[in-house]
Amino acid sequence: MKDPGWAAKLRAVFELSPTVLTITDLDDGRVVEVNDAFLRVTGYTRDEVIGRSVPELGVWVDLSQRDQGVAALRAGHPIRDVEARFRTKGGQEIVAITNADVIDIDGRPCILTALVEITDRVRAEAALRESERRFAQLFRANPLPMTIVSMRTHRHLDVNEAAVRHSGYTREEMLGQTKPEMGFWVAPDQREELLRQLIAEGQARDFEVTFRTKTGEERYLLTNSEVITYEGEPAVLSVSVDITERKELEAQREARREEAETLTRAKDEFLAILSHELRNPLGTITTALGVLNRLVTTDELHHVTDILQRQTARLTRLVDDLLDVARVTSGKIELRPQILDLRELAERCVHTLAEAGRTREHHVVVEGDPIRVDGDPARLEQVINNLLDNALKYTAPGGEVRLITGQVHTDAVLRVRDTGEGIRAELRERVFDLFVQEPQALDRSRGGLGLGLALVKQLVELHGGSVSVASAGPGHGSEFTVRLPAVVEPRRPDDATPPAASPTSNLRRRVLIVEDNADAREGLRLLLTHAGHEVETSEDALSGLEKLRTFQPDVALIDIGLPGVDGYALARMARQTPQARGTCLVALTGYGQAEDQRRALASGFDTHLTKPIEPTQLEDFLARH
């Protein structure tokens, strides 16, 4: 194009403008000039477009829109901010805001067109509209209650059908109203906490609220909320799940748990009382039998007292098993582990049973290697005694029971093998369950409650071990195998347990008995008097405290359940009495749980002995203290 005197600055603006500029002849529609922005956006070269008509180039997507524009320009109406679509050389569509007017170039009318490309913006707006459309669809169709509330006014801007159904209100009743105005919030402090989280974090996750419907029904909701922009203003989008049924189930479970805990406490209290009430008469009977043994002079009477002692010991063992199973099940047994030799423990158990005459009809053998474990000697002795008792019970007189100790890999192993009746296959799977026994005849000659093996399993597992049973079936005996973690360090000379000193049975002690039960008190007095001790008695705490001052005993055997002032209080008072500070205070009581022992020691007792106590054990205790 010839320069007819255009100002140099005006041409520079045309060429350098980032806006797409074109000049076309108004009459024939041919391109007169384009700027670099046009070439960059469309992909054409200047030679490809100059002198060619616009329809020929195919730049306009909609030629009718172009023709309408030209007609308007001929009529003297400029084009302002019209959105039009164009096609690049490569065929890609672009969107631009179009402005056009007629100008004079060298005496001929031309159209100056300015295009501002908005393709990206149009696409973004289209994507936003599509997103909004999809959001609206999801919002309306979502089965969960959804609401949009203004952050500024706290009024409902939108609600979905699920929220309408859940609340009981109509859509019209909810829009423009706040939740407090409609009485939705049962607990206002929940609303305040939700608003605080939304302001501080822009969201609130898994927030539990108590909600009231139009009918006044209270429901529980688990709500997720997010701050969004809705129609140009900040708003809160909330999605809720009704968890009322879940909360009710949780409440029922909690109520059942509390009920179970209450029943457990009641059971524990009952067992403690049962323990006390059973052990007190057992203790009295055991003591009286000890006295009888010292008094009788004929073999027949000795035989009778032996029978009574065995049956009393059996009844005591049943009571202990019953209480121990309850303690283990409720997690109330505390182990007091120490390093011990499993074979020595087995030999001691067999020796104790032999002294009581329990093994005289059987051949009982302990064999194998010494092997050390870290365990509670009293509880492991209970395990071995129960296995031995089971083996003896199901092995006919003349049969054999072997206790074999050894090590397998890192386990200390104890096998209790008998030549008895054996175990049926269907019973082997359940033999360690509570109350499981082989069928017995009506006479129940074997006795038992089906607790011994269940207690064995629980106590072994408390030690981190396991117990199993093997039997080839009826008539082929059985073998119980206990596995415990072995202590692998070699035994050093200084580890050896020094031999226990023999008690001095003829050592005379001054003994005070404080017991409100007359039979128990008199039985203990006779037993200890015949054993050569100097004995005084008292039936309550106050007279007992006076005897502690005046008699100044070496040992005081004190019952806990004394009338008025109990044994715990007596022990505390005794420790404040100068004349009694050297006395060994012994809680001799039917309350034998771990908590009872801790409480006794905390009250000032030196030790705690549980009724019934064998006369020989009591005499041994007095000799050692």
Residue-range domain boundaries for the chain = 8-117, 136-242, 260-327+504-625, 334-491
Sign of torsion, CA 587 590 594 599?
negative
Please say whether the beta carbons of 147 and 185 come within 8 A.
Answer: no
- The CATH superfamily of 260-327+504-625 is Response regulator (3.40.50.2300)
- Upper half-sphere CA count for residue 314 (Cβ side, 13 Å): 15
pLDDT of residue 495: 47
Q: What is the pLDDT of residue 504?
A: 45
> Is it the case that residue 173 has pLDDT exceeding 60?
yes
CA 160 to the chain's CA centroid = 38
CA angle 578, 582, 588 (to 5 degrees): 110
Residue 273 has pLDDT above 70, yes or no: no
Can you state the angle between helices 518-530 and 615-624, rounded to 10 degrees?
Answer: 60
Residues 6+ apart with CB under 8 A from 469: 423, 428, 431, 432, 478, 479, 480, 481
The per-residue pLDDT of the chain, averaged, comes to 83
Q: What is the pLDDT of residues 348-401, one digit of tens each?
A: 899 888 877 788 889 999 999 999 999 988 889 889 998 998 899 889 999 999
Taken in order 513, 519, 525, 527, is the CA torsion positive or negative? negative
Is the domain spanning 334-491 CATH 3.40.50.2300? The answer is no
Secondary structure class of 474 (helix, strand, coil): coil
- pLDDT tier for residue 466 given thresholds of 50, 70 and 90: very high
Q: What is the DSSP string of 261-307?
A: HHHHHHHHHHHHHHHHHHHHHHHHHHHHHHHHHHH--SHHHHHHHHH
Helical H segments across 296-433, by residue range: 299-329, 342-355, 377-393, 425-428
Average pLDDT over residues 148-168: 91
pLDDT at residue 492, rounded to an integer: 47
Give yes or no for residue 564 having a pLDDT over 80: yes
What topology does CATH give the domain 136-242? Beta-Lactamase (3.30.450)
Question: Over 90: is that where the pLDDT of 108 sits?
Answer: no
| pLDDT tens digits, one per residue of 420-447 | 988 888 787 788 876 555 554 433 344 4
Q: How many residues does the chain have?
A: 625
Kindly report, residue by residue over 213-253, the tens digit of the pLDDT. 999 899 999 999 999 988 888 999 999 999 999 989 988 99
- Cα(512)–Cα(556) distance, rounded to whole angstroms? 5
Position 324 scores a pLDDT of 62
Percent of the chain beyond pLDDT 90?
Answer: 30
C-alpha–C-alpha distance, residues 72 and 577, integer Å: 122
Identify the pLDDT of residue 344.
Answer: 93
The single residue listed with the structure tokens 């072995």 is 486
Residue 78 banded pLDDT, cuts 50, 70, 90: very high
Confidence of residue 8 (pLDDT cuts 50, 70, 90): low
For the ranges 74-78, 113-117, 124-128, 606-610, the lowest mean pLDDT is seen at: 124-128
Bigger pLDDT: 300 or 169?
A: 169
pLDDT of 502 reads 44
Residue 501's identity, in one-letter code, is A
Same fold across 8-117 and 136-242: yes
Place of tokens 């027949």: 300
The predicted-structure confidence for 539-563, as pLDDT tens digits, reads as follows 999 999 999 999 999 999 999 888 8
CA-based diameter of the chain, in Å? Answer: 157
CATH-assigned architecture of domain 8-117? 2-Layer Sandwich (3.30)
Question: Across the strands, what pairs with 536?
Answer: 512
pLDDT, mean of residues 256-278: 71
- CA 71 to mean position of chain CA atoms: 82
